[in-house]
Every structure is written in C-alpha cells, then in structure tokens.
Amino acid sequence: MRRRVISACQLLSAFQYQENNCSVNLVRRQQPLLIDANCTTSVCRPISSADNERFLCPKLLISRALSTEAAKLSKQDANRAGPLVEYERRIAASELVDGDSCQVGTLRELQRLYDELVKSADACKLDRYSASDKSGRSRWLWSRFMPQSSHSPVEGLYLYGGVGTGKTMLMDLFFDQLPWNWRKKRIHFHDFMLNVHSRLQKHKGVADPLEVVAGEISDEAILLCLDEFMVTDVADALILNRLFRHLFSNGVILVATSNRAPDNLYEGGLQRDLFLPFIATLKERCVVHEIGSLVDYRKMTSAEQGFYFVGKDLSGLLKQKFQELIGKQTAVPQKVEVVMGRTLQVPLGANGCAYFSFEELCDKPLGAADYFGLFKNFHSLALDGVPIFGLHNRTAAYRFVTLVDVMYENRARLLCTAEGSPLELFRRVVTVADAQQKAPRTSTRSRRNDDSEICVDNELGFAKDRTISRLTEMNSKEYLEHHAAMLVEKQLLQEDVIGNAVLV
C-alpha cells in the first residue's frame, strides 16, 4: 500500500511539474500561439479559451480514438478475447472515447487475424516452449542436408494509411492481447534492420548468412510485428527480398504498419527492379489493408506546452532550459555505445539529458543506429539550430526525420530551437507529384532560383508529413505528461531492483 501511495504521489508530482514548468514556447512573441492543423502558416493565432473546448480530452490522444461504429459484443463474444473485444471492453468502462469509424475496419481485420492465430497456434508453432532449440547456424547446416519449407497456414497483415491515423496504437492493441507464451516480437522497422545488419556481420563468411539470420529471427519470433515499415536505404532494399523469403519459408507471420502502400515502397530508389520481387512476396503472404481515415490524431491535442522555440539567436534560452532539466548536476562530454562496437560522442550530458547542435547530430554521417544508442542512455534531447530544409541540406533532412522517428519510438522529450515551425521546416520539400502541380516559371522566377529553393524528393516528401505530425504531438501537454509518467515508472523499477539487491 505504501508503495502505491508513493507511486501515485510521484506521478501526480511529475504531471504538476510539466504543467507548471512547461511554458508555451512555439511562439515569436510573448502571447501563446497555436499551430492549427489546417492552417497554411506556421504560427496562426493566439490561443483562446475556445480552443481548449475544441480540443479532445487526453484519453483520446492516448487511445488514438477508435470508432462509434464498432460492433457491439454479443452473448457469444463474452468469452472471446482480442483487440476488438478489448476495445469494446474499454469503451464500456469509459477508458476510451469514441472516434474514427475508419479504424474499426482495421480492428476487425486484426480481430480476424487474432482468431485465426488462436485457432492455428499449434500448426503455426507459436508456443515458445514447444519450439525447436536449434541455433540459427545449426538450422542452416541441417537445411543443407534436409531442405524444407514450411509457410504458415495463416496470412499476415500489412496496414497502411496517412500519418497520425492510429496505426501504431492499433497494432500495439493487437500485440498486447496475444498470449504471453507465444513466440512474438514487436519492433520498429529501423531497429529491426539494424539488428539484421548486426547479425549479418556476426555470420560473415557463411555461404548464405541471410538464411542463418532468418533462422535466428524465426527461432525467436514466429509472429513479427514491424512498426513504420519504410525502405529508403539501398542496402536494406537489396536484402529484404531474400531475407523475407527465408523468413516466410520458416513460417514467420508478418504484421506491419506503414505510411506507404506496398506498391509504393522504395519508389524511385536505386536498383528498384531488384526490390520489386519483395513487393510481390509481401502481397502474397499478407492481407493488405488501408486505414482510410483523414484525421491526424496527433494534431488533435491540447495547445503546445513544450520546448519548441522558433527564432534566431535562442541558444542561450535553450541552454537555460537544459540546465533547468538537469538540475544541480554538471553536464559533461560523454560517449555512448551503438551497434557493432561503435560509439557516439555526446557534447554535453547529465541526468538523462543530452545537448547537441543540429550540425553535430544531423550534418555528420550518423544514422538510426547512433540515434537508438543515444536514446538508450538519454530520455531528453536539447537540439540547437534546426534549419529550414531544402535542396542544399537534403541529407541532413533525412537524418532529422530518422532522429524524430527514433525519439518518438522511445517516447523521448525534445527541446529545440528552430528557424520555423514544424510545417515551415519542410515547406520547400515536395514530392514529384506536388512539383508538377506548381505554377510554371515566369520571367521573374528563374530556374536557378527554383532549384535552390525546392527539394523534389518522393521519400522525403512523404516522410515530412509524419515528421510534422510527430513534432506537433511531441510538443503537446499530453505527450509530456506521458513522458513524465514513464520517468516515474522507470525510477520506481530502479528502486525495486536496488531494494531486491539489498535484500539478497
């Protein structure tokens, strides 16, 4: 009981800290301003009391809001389980509020998959305790003498749709309902590919290292849930077809979320013809389902309450906020380990907070591995000087998109100074289709000026919407409250570990 009281008090204290100390900072003047999801300018208007009534309650943000049209549980559903059943239970208990009807169709697909998996659990070899204990390399050696293929009798599911439509929440709702003893894994696609490359390095010299890696992965997880499936790297594109051919042959069932339809993956990429067989394999082994919602739930949060500062010469303000977060501790240079023995130099770090200039983190040859390593050691990032993106800094824009993805996956907190709002940062980045719709050049608008301002890039053009959406949510009161609660939970777990160690 004492532990529960302490936990509740600490959690309340953390929320109050956010509410009292996180001022509205996405501003160019002292009066608070609100970024409107439908506004074409970055800072639209002062926040009024009417705005607070227009926004949804925090429960809607956390739940990603599903639908009023969800099928009501019948008597025969009483003993069932699964994502749709759990959703109905939460609605009845007022833990969730009604929302988007488009997501209910997705829930039905996930419930269908759940029911099929439960029915075919033995055939799919989902129980981890009845699975083979052969290592990946032993499996590979055995397969040289006894070639075999065992596709799963159950097809997977590939969910795609616009940004902020709740894909991740829906997949997590599905994953959390799965039996604990199943061989299952939920992982971000960036992290998954880093793990694959690390395993390939370990098995360097084997005739077919991809087959060994696929054997190891399928030994660990027959049900593989990949969030934010995206292909932008030519190295990833070239191995995906063979990797997943082996995985599917080993009986792996894929559940994936993505902003892109399968046919649009790696669009315009180098050597895409070698990637196309993977798309065919993906569509063969997975049911493809589009989430048709046009609502971005990340933008349906309360007014900005975070640490996103727009303007120039604000480094002093950012350092002040950084110092407030680390308290009495002294920030010093640190090193963090990333994959394959590499390290990342952190200019300043203390109390779980890291400080970087934009150039140090996004203008250097860093990638997802470095960012994942960073946020395994730090829960907050102060980033100084995010620029407007265009043709001249396209590579840095790609790294910034990856950085935001990794931060969002780790529920990290962002403090930053930027030359513009999230929308303004990417205004010059367009897809090929957007570029073709732009007004033709005139005598006062030269080709040289066009090329210096506009970055035409399909992958970056599609990714920017996700980044704008996530930056908006990461600056909201609800996100910061969730971050504070996460820190309290981690602290309590650490105290429990220390307490148990003392008892032993």
Token reading at 390: 């265009």
Which range has the worst mean pLDDT, 38-47, 211-220, 299-308, 489-498? Answer: 38-47
Average pLDDT over residues 328-337: 93
Least confident range from 55-69, 272-286, 440-454: namely 55-69
427 has a pLDDT exceeding 90: yes
The residue with greater pLDDT, 16 or 435, is 435
**Would you tell me the crossing angle of helices 136-145 and 209-220 to the nearest 10 degrees?**
120
Q: Does the structure show a pLDDT above 80 at 36? A: no
pLDDT, position 227: 93
- Residue 340, pLDDT score: 72
Contact 159, 174 (CB under 8 A): no
94 Cβ contact list (under 8 Å, min separation 6): none
Mean pLDDT confidence for 432-443? 67
Residue entry with tokens 């994942």? 372
pLDDT value for 492: 84
d(CA 378, CA 410): 10
Half-sphere exposure of 422 (CA within 13 A, CB side): 27
How far is residue 168's CA from residue 62's CA, in Å, rounded to a whole number?
11
When pLDDT is cut at 50, 70 and 90, the band that residue 482 belongs to is: confident
Where do the domains of the chain lie? 1-22+484-504, 75-291, 307-474
- Superfamily of domain 75-291 in the CATH hierarchy: P-loop containing nucleotide triphosphate hydrolases (3.40.50.300)
Mean pLDDT over residues 72-79, rounded? Answer: 42
State the angle between helix axes of 167-176 and 102-119 in degrees (0 to 180), rounded to the nearest 10.
30
Tell whether the model's pLDDT for residue 348 goes beyond 50. yes
Cβ neighbours of residue 435 under 8 Å, at least 6 residues apart?
454, 456
Predicted pLDDT of residue 413 = 95
Q: What is the DSSP string of 345-366?
A: EEEEEETTEEEEEHHHHHSSS-
Residues 112-127 have pLDDT tens digits of 999 999 999 999 999 9
CA dist 103 and 100 (Å) reads 6
Q: Once rounded to an integer, what is the mean pLDDT over residues 32-36?
A: 34
Cβ within 8 Å of residue 306, ≥6 positions away: 22, 25, 26, 413, 414, 415, 474, 475, 476, 479, 480
Q: Rounded to an integer, what distance in angstroms lies between the CA atom of residue 126 and that of residue 219?
A: 10
* pLDDT at residue 100, as a whole number: 54
User: Residue 452 has what pLDDT?
Assistant: 59
Distance CA 57, CA 344 (A): 39
- Chain CA centroid to CA 197, Å: 20
Over residues 246-297, the pLDDT tens digits come to: 999 999 999 999 988 999 999 888 889 999 999 999 999 999 999 876 555 5
